Amino acid sequence: MVQIDKDKALILQFNQIGIKDIATVGGKNASLGEMIVNLAPLGIKIPDGFATTAYAYRLFLQYSDLDRKLAQLFSTLDVSDIDNLREHGRQARTLILNAPLPKELEQAITQAYLELLPQDSVAVAVRSSATAEDLPDASFAGQQETYLNVHGVWSVLTATHQCFASLFTDRAISYRAARGYDHLEVGLSVGIQKMIRSDLATSGVMFSIDTETGFKNNVLITASYGLGENIVQGAVNPDEYLVFKPTLLKGYSPILEKRLGSKEIKMVYEQGSGKQTKNIPVAAEDRSRYALEDSDILALARWACIIEQHYSQINGNNTPMDIEWAKDGVTGELFIVQARPETVQSLKSQQILSNYLLQGQGELLLTGRAVGEMIGSGKARVILDVQKLAAFEQGEVLVTRQTDPDWEPIMKKASAIITDQGGRTCHAAIIARELGIPAVVGCGNATDIIKNGQELTVSCAQGEQGHVYQGIIPYQLQTTELEYLPKTRTKILMNVGNPEVIFSLAAIPCDGVGLARLEFIINNHIGVHPLALLESEKISDPVVKAKIESLTIGYRSASDFFIEKLSSGIAMIAAAFYPLAVIVRMSDFKSNEYASLLGGKDFEPIEENPMLGWRGASRYYDPKYKKAYSLECEAIKKVRQQMGLTNIIPMVPFCRTPAEGARVLLEMENYGLKQGKNGLQIYMMCEIPSNVILADEFCQIFDGFSIGSNDLTQLILGLDRDSALVAQLFDERNEAVKRMISQFIQTVHKNGKKVGICGQAPSDYPEFAEFLVRQGIDSISLNPDSLVKTVLVIADIEAQIESAN
């Protein structure tokens, strides 16, 4: 093989370059070559192509004395002055476009292009790749131009020339200046790559890390119809899919969550008008279905894992990746068209936990996708035209339809960003994360609702949904150092309910989840009584029936809607703490709470005291309800068996007698959840005096226990904790309650089983936490906001006990 002098070459084929050649062909092209050489043999498909070199670019500058002219021009640059920036950018681009390409470079590009596409019948993408691009600490994403659907030698040469000029777009100049890069030290390579016919199918972006929380075990995939530029630019609200890497790599199918995007337009090839691409509307039936089949979602996620593993080996540390993909509408094949290191979450410290908290309330104006778990506020500046950027003032909230890299000079001045369009991988989202400011994207009509000068608070600290409030609402930032948190003998677990915030909570050191409440998922993510889905003919209100039909559009059946929503919420909680145990309490709605769900009034009795009525275990085997319980079991089974999240431990609440416990286990077995099979353990809540008195018998049925101190206190003291009249008597520290808890712990341990507690009392009362530790309780499950401080208390108690012994 002939040895190539890369330092003097004008053109290099992708299979001649690798990641060590960033200085020669830029980050984008070096990465494509790296993958073609090393990952194509593993089955990952990357479109072929070639790249001009940085040497070719510098030859072009010298050829027309451009390096001297540009140096002189930039001596008077002031990037803080928008008008000055624009004028310098315009002059720089004019200088480049008016200078001819060297003949030897034109000949080299022509020859390589004709070798790549002898028949000249396939379109190519012509992409810029700067030599300071796609580095581990700076993405430079979207700073230079890309040209799609390019045909013919002349068009390729023209696009190459325009790419050279795009090194001096206003946004690129501003970005380099903000990061201290010399404008003339950065070179430019141009990649010419075969295009994939994703205009006839789908395309998108994926990250091998959770983009909002930095959780490293997830792959986030976004997808929309047509060419991928619309997703990158934020012109569409794409579908989103979340896949869990550890069990994916074990052969399971762990699609944790699927979110349907509106996908209103798609970018396709333009034919015969002189333009290269155009946007057209997406048919309503296509908008209402997912753009990717599950098999494609899983295939892309596996590729993301392989790509991440390869780059992590190169860099010697974990390297999450930002990857663009496309599906060919002719062949049905998937392709990777770009890959670069992720440069925001992967660089954050994992030892500092930051938590933003609103300190007041305001009128909710808008919601959208939350980007960055932060809060920002300021006066709104609505800008619809990139030519009006000079009006933007420091500290304002930018409100616009969508952003592209031309907006970056003002984005760094913003306190927050709000857009009508876009998803979690759009330009506005990427830059907001990089700048460390909150953004709410994909709001739909923000530019119609918000007015210039309106005071706003933008909160992305309340889960996956971002909120825009009227007025300036005070907020607080809490930071917690996690590095020196002590390890305790007593296992410290967490009480959780909301899957939307779960990957943020995963950063808090703990030993797993002691209580995951199904009621929260059913109430907030499903909202429908399960029997109303299974027996819709019994619903008396036609309006309610219509609402339920609307919610379940796109699902094979109403029961599939319930199972998919519930399994997704459970799976996200289990994934966040995998492989640690996650105890999932089966539904414990009371009849009045169930009646408040959509359609619930037609299926629930009216009880004088629902707290002591038809709840928990008594429902699960009852002929009037057990069909609904089967849906919960199906959801658990799907998460354990299909997604591989076997760290889930179902827990039965409010089980009055051992015989009732045995009946519930039989029902669960009928629905595919057999105790002991595939490591399945089933726990019981201890919250009734009979659970304590008959603890020996319950230990013969269940694998472990968790004390629900709220209900147990209520029933030992004979008071209704919903009644304000006796609220002052409710106290878990009452001696009768403590004696019952102590007795239960000792009996369970005598039977070789484990017992924890999941009530609020250990968080509120240090002396109660001390009592539990001295009784030898195996675990204490705490609410997230009190976990860190209570760990310190428990560590101190354990130290005192040890020193006393």
Give the separation between CA 293 and CA 334, rounded to whole angstroms: 12
What is the bridge-based pairing of β-strands 439-441 and 416-419?
parallel
Catalytic site residue from 183, 427, 467, 529: 427
The predicted pLDDT at position 802 comes to: 84
Q: How do residues 504-533 score in pLDDT, each as one tens digit? A: 888 888 999 999 999 989 998 999 999 999
Would residue 655 show up in a list of annotated catalytic residues for this protein? no
The predicted pLDDT at position 174 comes to: 83
Structure tokens at 411: 């984005």
The predicted pLDDT at position 120 comes to: 59
Catalytic site residue from 305, 460, 655, 758: 758
The predicted pLDDT at position 350 comes to: 64
**Low-confidence stretches of the chain (pLDDT beneath 70):** 1-3, 119-121, 132-143, 272-275, 347-351
Q: How do residues 471-515 score in pLDDT, each as one tens digit? A: 999 998 877 777 777 889 999 999 998 898 899 888 888 999 999
The DSSP line for 181-208 is: --TTT--EEEEEEEPP-GGGSEEEEEES
Residue 485 DSSP label = P
Would residue 183 show up in a list of annotated catalytic residues for this protein? no
Burial code of 218-253, b = ≥16 C-beta within 10 A, e = fewer?
Answer: bbbbbbbbbbbbbbbbbbbbbbbbbbbbbbbeeebb
The predicted pLDDT at position 759 comes to: 73
Burial code of 554-584, b = ≥16 C-beta within 10 A, e = fewer?
Answer: eeeebbebbbbbbbbbbbbbbbbbbebbbbb
The predicted pLDDT at position 355 comes to: 79
Q: Residue 67's closest CA among 29, 90, 99?
A: 99
Structure tokens at 430: 């990427």
The predicted pLDDT at position 428 comes to: 87
